[in-house]
Amino acid sequence: MIQELAPGDRVACTVGDTELTGTYITDRAGMRVVKLDSGYNIGVGPERVDLVEHIPLAPQPALEVEQDPNLPELAIVSTGGTIASRIDYRTGAVTSQFTAADILRAIPGLAEIARYRTHVLATILSENMTPALWQELARAVHDAIADGASGVIVTHGTDTMSHSAAALAFMLQTPVPVVFVGSQRSADRPSSDNVMNGISAAAAAVSDLGEVAVVMHEGPSDDRCALHRAARVRKLHTSRRDAFQSVESSPIGHVDYPARTVHLSRDAVRRGRRALALDDRLEPRCGLIQFYPGMEPALLDSFAGYKGLVVAGTGLGHVSTPCIERLGALVANGTAVVMTSQCLYGRVCDRVYDTGRDLLACGVIEGATMLPEVALVKLMCVLGRTRDPDEVRRLMQADLAGEVLGRTPHGL
Amino acid sequence: MDSELTGLVAGLEIHQQLDTACKLFCGCPTRIRPVEEHDGEFFRYLRATASELGKIDRAAEEEMKQVRRFRYLAYDTTCLVENDDEPPSPLNDEALECTLQVAKTFGMTPIEQVHVMRKLVIDGSNTSGFQRTGLVAVGGTLPNGGRIESICLEEEAAQRVEEACFSLDRLGIPLVEITTSPCLRSPEEVQETAAYIGMVLRSTGKVKRGIGTIRQDLNVSIPEGARVEIKGVQELDLIAEVVRREVRRQQGLLAIRAELLSRGAGIDEEPVDVTGLFKNTGSAILKKAPVILGVRLRGFAGLVGQELQPGRRLGSELSDYAKRCGVGGIFHTDELPAYGVTGEEVTSLRGALEAQDDDCVVIVAADRKRAQCAVRQVVRRAQLALEGVPEETRKMLEGGSSAYMRPLPGAARMYPETDVLPVAITAERWAGVAVPELLTEKALRLKRESGLDPAVARQLAHSDRLPLYLRAVEAGVRPTLAARTALATLKELGRDGVPVERLEDEDVTAILTAVEEGRAAKEAVPDLLRAVAAGSSVKDALATLAPTVGADELEAIVARIVGERTEFVLERGMGALGPLMGLVMAEVRGSVDGKRLSELLRSALKHALE
């Protein structure tokens, strides 16, 4: 007979002629997962697991952490990254209780840098982020600053962290540091990068910085974090700690670890340079598509009715001749089309080859040095502010947050 | 059995590296590299994380007493998985199959669904801060009636190069861990059982050989003692001695406890700063120390210096605990005056701590933070002496004594590896697992089939050159020649510095076949192997070292050499055979069989002497 079990129950199970005891955890793939007294988990057929004693789940004791009132106050806005998450192994679920105590416990050392108040905006994986959440995030950060926070830390899943950071850079003008931070290795492992990233983020948030930045490992070692400008950063590796890199520009600073010394580059915007301002208008009906050889031109028609479309073209910013026609039709029907490049590095220039000139002729906007996803976020913001095609073109080609470089660095 | 060993309870944990193509959780080869070949390095910190129950493992907590920066060496044969910069690949199936073979040999039952766990290890030997391990089967039997509790498949840790520097080549090599129940009752039984399990493991033909590829951990306890795990016993022959010494240590600690209790011993918890007393000391260590703290152990006099194992005293145990705080060691009054500390200094030290005759004073020299930490550790260990034997993980020292390593880890150190999916072991899979022929059985078979001497057959069965032997015999080489080459010739060449590991079985077989076909003398085998190991092809080696000499040609050479030395032949008679053999062999350079030549030469000599 298969028994009803609750996580945490004491159970006995038989494997061959061996009787084993442990704690029932969950059912998975038709098996009962039992944590043996030795600590090992095993999967056992349900008919071979017997209840020994029902153990009611004990509530997690709330932990109080002392904060030093003499330190500057930082706001931590959480969107659900792994940086302070914890796995409840009895249920297998990720818990996202998120109080100041939780994060101070997860990252010892934070308490020496500042006091914290926390705001849980969302508890989602970052691939589930939406433009609507970017808006909420911008408002939350704005409110925290208006409320006197000396800096803001946004904890975020790494997959789309650069998108969110760019969105804030376009929507929010900030006098204090707004620092995005995540971790590439989960917080429950002794080697997690969450400690160094978290400490460095706090150090950056109390520093002289005055713009939106991403703080993550600079290299594979635990010795330094890089500060990246929000509109120039990209996740360039699936798993490495130093996955985030500034593309075609240098980081705007770095933080030494464990010393916590913050070094800002000459062109990093300094604290207090800009007044606090929020423009959270945004047009979510915008798309991004990567062109590839042989792409069915009709695919572009599915963007009909969109207010904006960013194309990641080949090389200097090209698509095939049949696709140009469809893009022209989109432009004619009121969609703003911006051309960027899959090369990521370098400037879009549609004045060299025929296909490029044809693109310009049908009204496509050259995306200058913008990363494709940054151009998308920017296009949403710009279209939230204006529908005038000339103004859209002007704003898309102007530098609003460091995304459009006046000079393309030679990189030598 | 010695009466002092009555009540001994021991168990074994055997760790054996597998010789699989890839590591357990990535595609890297399982190759050990010379450290100087590393082509990258990085630095990391590790910290203890709480288990699912919110507890921090006590062994991990102990490691956290010192925050250390670990340095890792990477190679062109390691990847981001070893760097803990990429999630693990699925569990290596070749390693799992081998583990199942061993499990089946011991009559164990497989786990229906294997879950990979993370075992917290933050001494730096794992970049992730944990060792991945999965329980594969339970409940096996040993020929002596003992029980195998479990078999696990784990990843090997990184090799420590020096204090806080680790080499990543070894990290991730599959490791089979076999745990017996505490069913062993004598030091000899522990050693025999280890030997038997090792033999079973080698029977799979899939395990690594050589120093460090198999390690034994011993669990030892005696009545009123405690379970102590001694890690890293690499030499099989030392196992019994390690067990004996641990029994002696536990008995010694129990005797010390009895004496301490009868003296009404106790420990002062507060240290006294005695830095000033050693301002002008002759001890270099104490003189340059920023802070010296002393602590009084009441009633401990004479016992701290008492020997527990060869070279180990209660003082060594106190020192081991103190070293966790990063100090070099301790001084205690049982061993002073010495090391440049004078009798007067000892007297003033005792005075400063108000020590009576039967008190012992321990001093620690370091910066204040470390010294305070070390004193707390000394106090903790001294308190444990009042209780008897502490449960501990210890490491083996040269000769068979052991030193404290860390507390025994608890169940709080295990949590699930969420990045690896569980692996089901279906009934069909289990049914298809082949049980390897045991080496002991193979030895019997070899003796039967080949008529080899039983000792040679057994040696062969346990040799990692067995595949060479089998291949050569299959190719038509006589068992005696094949066995001699596999067991003796290659070993001797290796001792002479010939890189025999470069010799492929195929080439050695080709050389031996040439001997059997009369194309080379068996005396030429070592030179031929030497040449091939140095990079020559078998064909070239044979042409150079054993040029073909026809029967007529050989007869002509023999006739000429005998003819040229008539005087010598007449003088020595048949005694000239040996020296002349050498001359002919030098001329034909090993291309003819010695026996055939000897017959030819013998008849030529007879002819000449007639």
Residue A63 lies in a domain: no
Reduced to 3 states, what is the DSSP secondary structure of residue A13?
A: strand
Residue A402 lies in a domain: no
Q: In the predicted model, what is the mean pLDDT of residues A1-15?
A: 87
Residue A406 lies in a domain: no
Residue A300 lies in a domain: yes
In chain B, residues with a C-beta closer than 8 Å to the C-beta of A235 are none
Out of A335-349, B257-271, B532-546, least confident range = B532-546
Same domain, B515 and B587: no
Amino acid at A8: G
Provide the CB-side half-sphere exposure for A196 (13 A, CA). Answer: 31
Note the pLDDT of residue A279.
98
Domain final residue pick, A278, A303, A336? A278
User: Is residue B532 scored above 80 in pLDDT?
Assistant: yes
Range of the domain at B363: 260-392
Predicted structure pTM score: 0.83
Q: How many CB atoms within 10 Å of residue A266?
A: 5
pLDDT tens digit string along A218-269?
999 999 999 999 999 999 999 999 999 999 999 999 999 999 999 999 999 9
- Most confident range (mean pLDDT) of A1-15, A365-379, B194-208, B548-562 is A365-379
User: Is residue A161 scored above 90 in pLDDT?
Assistant: yes
The answer to whether residues B583 and B570 touch, using CB atoms and an 8 Å cutoff, is: no
Amino acid at B539: K
Residue B399 lies in a domain: no
* Segments in B160-238 forming alpha helices (H): 187-203
B590/B450: higher pLDDT:
B450
Same domain, A17 and A100: no
Q: In the predicted model, what is the mean pLDDT of residues B351-374?
A: 94
SS (H, E, C) A305-354: CCCEEEEEEECCCECCHHHHHHHHHHHHCCCEEEEEECCCCCCCCCCCCH
Tell me which residue in A40, A184, A220 faces B42 most closely, judged by beta carbons. Answer: A220
**Nearest C-alpha of chain B: how many angstroms from A104?**
13
Same domain, A156 and A104: yes
Residue A58 lies in a domain: no
Same domain, B280 and B386: yes
Same domain, B150 and B23: yes
Q: Is B536 left (phi over 0), alpha (psi -120 to 50) or beta?
A: beta
Q: What is the number of domains present in chain A?
A: 3
**Nearest C-alpha of chain A: how many angstroms from B116?**
8
Residue A376 lies in a domain: yes
Note the pLDDT of residue A251.
97
CB pairs under 8 A between A and B: 135
In chain B, residues with a C-beta closer than 8 Å to the C-beta of A221 are 42-44
Residue B152 lies in a domain: yes
The answer to whether residues A291 and A312 touch, using CB atoms and an 8 Å cutoff, is: yes
Q: By C-alpha distance, which of B225, B265, B227, B230 is closest to B248?
A: B225
Note the pLDDT of residue B519.
82
- Please indicate whether, in this complex, the C-beta atoms of B129 and A191 are within 8 angstroms of each other: yes
- Please indicate whether, in this complex, the C-beta atoms of A189 and B49 are within 8 angstroms of each other: yes
DSSP class of A407? S
Note the pLDDT of residue B577.
84
**Nearest C-alpha of chain A: how many angstroms from B189?**
24
What lies within 8 Å, CB to CB, of B124 at 6+ separation is: B46, B68, B70, B158, B160, B164, B166
The answer to whether residues A80 and A122 touch, using CB atoms and an 8 Å cutoff, is: yes
CA-to-CA dists, residue B304 to A406, B255, B269, B325, B343, angstroms = 76, 12, 17, 20, 18
Note the pLDDT of residue B60.
63
Domain final residue pick, A230, A261, A278? A278
Same domain, B98 and B222: yes
In chain A, residues with a C-beta closer than 8 Å to the C-beta of B69 are 222
Question: Which CATH number fits the domain that encloses residue A266?
Answer: 3.40.50.1170
- Please indicate whether, in this complex, the C-beta atoms of B47 and A87 are within 8 angstroms of each other: no
Same domain, B36 and B180: yes
- Please indicate whether, in this complex, the C-beta atoms of B115 and A42 are within 8 angstroms of each other: yes
What distance in Å separates the CA atoms of residue A106 and residue B49, rounded to the nearest whole number? 8
Same domain, B18 and B147: yes
What lies within 8 Å, CB to CB, of B532 at 6+ separation is: B503, B507, B508, B511, B538, B541
Strand-strand pairing, B165-167 and B159-162: antiparallel
Out of A86-100, B173-187, B585-599, least confident range = A86-100
User: Is residue B211 scored above 70 in pLDDT?
Assistant: yes
Question: Which CATH number fits the domain that encloses residue A21?
Answer: 2.30.30
- Token readout for B609 is 């002497």
Same domain, B512 and B534: yes
**Nearest C-alpha of chain A: how many angstroms from B423?**
9
B517/A396: higher pLDDT:
A396
Range of the domain at A314: 286-397
Q: What is the CA radius of gyration of chain A?
A: 25
Residue A344, judged by CB atoms within 10 A of its CB (0-12, 13-18, 19+), counts as middle
User: Is residue A85 scored above 50 in pLDDT?
Assistant: yes
Q: In the predicted model, what is the mean pLDDT of residues A286-308?
A: 97
User: Is residue B302 scored above 70 in pLDDT?
Assistant: yes
Same domain, A323 and A250: no
- Please indicate whether, in this complex, the C-beta atoms of B112 and A45 are within 8 angstroms of each other: yes
Same domain, A226 and A353: no
Residue B532, judged by CB atoms within 10 A of its CB (0-12, 13-18, 19+), counts as buried
Same domain, A263 and A143: yes
Reported confidence tier of residue A379, pLDDT bands at 50, 70, 90: very high
Reported confidence tier of residue A32, pLDDT bands at 50, 70, 90: very high
Same domain, B582 and B604: yes
Residue A111 lies in a domain: yes
- Token readout for B86 is 């990429």
CA-to-CA dists, residue A120 to A376, B157, B220, B441, angstroms = 26, 39, 52, 67
Domain final residue pick, B530, B545, B560? B545
User: Is residue B542 scored above 90 in pLDDT?
Assistant: no
Q: At what angle do helices B466-474 and B454-462 cross, to 10 degrees?
A: 120
Same domain, A290 and A219: no
Same domain, A143 and A183: yes
- Please indicate whether, in this complex, the C-beta atoms of A190 and B418 are within 8 angstroms of each other: no
In chain A, residues with a C-beta closer than 8 Å to the C-beta of B103 are none
Note the pLDDT of residue A94.
54
Same domain, B596 and B526: no
Note the pLDDT of residue B87.
94
Residue B322 lies in a domain: yes
Note the pLDDT of residue A112.
92
Residue A342, judged by CB atoms within 10 A of its CB (0-12, 13-18, 19+), counts as middle
Tell me which residue in A41, A221, A239 faces B115 most closely, judged by beta carbons. Answer: A41
Note the pLDDT of residue A34.
93
The strands making up A49-53's β-sheet, listed across from edge to edge, are A49-53, A10-15, A18-28, A31-36, A41-44, B113-114, B423-424
pLDDT tens digit string along A262-283?
999 999 999 999 999 999 999 9
Q: What is the number of domains present in chain B?
A: 4
Q: Which residues of B228-254 are buried (b: 16+ CB within 10 A; e: fewer)?
A: bbbbbbeeeebbbbbbbbbbbbbbbbb
B62/B166: higher pLDDT:
B166
Calculate the CA B145 to chain-centre distance.
27
Provide the CB-side half-sphere exposure for B244 (13 A, CA). Answer: 15
What distance in Å separates the CA atoms of residue A211 and residue A226, rounded to the nearest whole number? 14
Note the pLDDT of residue A190.
87
Same domain, A115 and A132: yes
Reduced to 3 states, what is the DSSP secondary structure of residue B139?
A: strand
Same domain, B383 and B497: no
User: Is residue B271 scored above 60 in pLDDT?
Assistant: yes
SS (H, E, C) B66-117: CCCEEEEEECCCCCCCCCCCCCCCCCCHHHHHHHHHHHHHCCCEECCEECEE
Same domain, B140 and B166: yes
Residue B401 lies in a domain: no
Percent of chain A with pLDDT over 70: 93
Same domain, A121 and A218: yes
Question: Which CATH number fits the domain that encloses residue B289?
Answer: 3.30.1360.30
User: Is residue A373 scored above 80 in pLDDT?
Assistant: yes
What is the ipTM metric for this complex? Answer: 0.91
What lies within 8 Å, CB to CB, of B54 at 6+ separation is: A60, A61
DSSP B259-284: HHHHHT-EE--S-EE-GGGGTT-S-H
Note the pLDDT of residue A323.
97
User: Is residue A90 scored above 60 in pLDDT?
Assistant: no
**Nearest C-alpha of chain A: how many angstroms from B109?**
5
Same domain, A131 and A218: yes
Domain final residue pick, A278, A298, A327? A278
Question: Which CATH number fits the domain that encloses residue A392?
Answer: 3.40.50.40
Same domain, A185 and A331: no
pLDDT tens digit string along B3-15?
567 789 999 999 9
Interface residue A89 vs chain B (CB under 8 A): yes
Amino acid at A382: V
Interface residue A31 vs chain B (CB under 8 A): yes
Q: Is B127 left (phi over 0), alpha (psi -120 to 50) or beta?
A: alpha
User: Is residue B489 scored above 70 in pLDDT?
Assistant: yes
Interface residue A33 vs chain B (CB under 8 A): yes
Residue recorded with tokens 């409110």: A143
User: Is residue B360 scored above 80 in pLDDT?
Assistant: yes
Backbone angles phi, psi at A99, to 5 degrees: -110, 170
Give chain A's mean pLDDT: 92
Same domain, A45 and A79: no
Residue A404 lies in a domain: no
DSSP class of A92? T
In chain A, residues with a C-beta closer than 8 Å to the C-beta of B128 are 185, 189-191
User: Is residue B1 scored above 50 in pLDDT?
Assistant: no
Same domain, B326 and B377: yes
